[in-house]
Amino acid sequence: MTAKIIDGKAFAATIREKVAGHVARLKEEHGITPGLAVVLVGEDPASQVYVRSKGKQTVEVGMNSFEHKLDADTSEADLLALIDKLNNDDSVHGILVQLPLPKHLDEDLVINSISPEKDVDGFHISNVGLLGTGQKSMVPCTPLGSLMMLRDHHGSLSGMNAVVIGRSNIVGKPMAQLLLGDSCTVTIAHSRTKDLAEVVRRADIVVAAVGRPEMVPGDWIKDGATVIDVGINRIERDGKNVLVGDVDFASAKEVAGAITPVPGGVGPMTIACLLANTVTACCRSNDLSEPEGLTA
């Protein structure tokens, strides 16, 4: 068996098309333009790339993009004052503070200062609690994108056995909650799980989000299982720097039924879902129907 490759780049393009359609209707029917504000503190090279890409894609789907670039030594008080200003700006429907922050800033304090309704990253403690109790929330972008791809491939996920490898607040835990919401039987595993290979071999769905390059070999994968590889790891191979996932793609694709590649799998879906969350936040703040196909 050779797995079907789940093309995240192509899927993300369809999500952006849906977002653009919803944005156009919001403008035409209600005179509203969704707005996304991104705050970057410091000059981390990877963060700068992400912010540029987010800004470009925001504009391409017809939304307003507000970028705030602050010096690395910006005080916590000044950053919180900016967030407070954005919280009270009716033209801003989504706020994202690019992580990681410089070490002198308290990430939890900063994230939880964002209005939960504008927290398009889904990291605010209120959104975490709402998601965990099955209520309407803003959903973290990477798990949301992963769920969309799984639904697209399988249709219903009800009754499937899913293993999430990784227990981070950003991916692992919310991913498990979303899978539970779709009636999967869910196991959260991690690097210290006993007999991890056997746990993974029982799974119909494997979501790898542990942050270790190629940690999951193909012989851990059940025949025909669907593998969502969230990992993005830069390693040296044959004298070159290459990106690899948390799953050994070469061996896993020989047994899996479907698999996401790295790069080109989950990664493109993250920004697409950020745009989707901004439209959702805009609709909710204006008491309008939520956009179909863009939420959990």
List residues with catalytic annotation.
Answer: 54, 98, 121
Distances from the Cα of 140 to the Cα of 20, 33, 154, angstroms: 20, 22, 21
Q: How far apart are CA 99 and CA 249, in angstroms?
A: 28
8 touches 232 (CB < 8 A): no
CB atoms within 10 A of CB 179: 25
Q: How far apart are CA 43 and CA 100, in angstroms?
A: 11
Q: How far apart are CA 128 and CA 116, in angstroms?
A: 10
Q: Is the dihedral of CA 162, 235, 56, 6 positive or negative?
A: negative
Q: Which residues have C-beta within 8 Å of that of residue 261, sequence separation ≥ 6?
A: 5, 6, 8, 229, 245, 249
Query: Vertex 231, ends 225 and 237: CA angle to 5°?
Result: 105
Q: Which residues have C-beta within 8 Å of that of residue 19, sequence separation ≥ 6?
A: 61, 63, 272, 275, 276, 279, 291, 294
Distances from the Cα of 19 to the Cα of 11, 33, 125, 140, 269, angstroms: 13, 12, 26, 17, 13
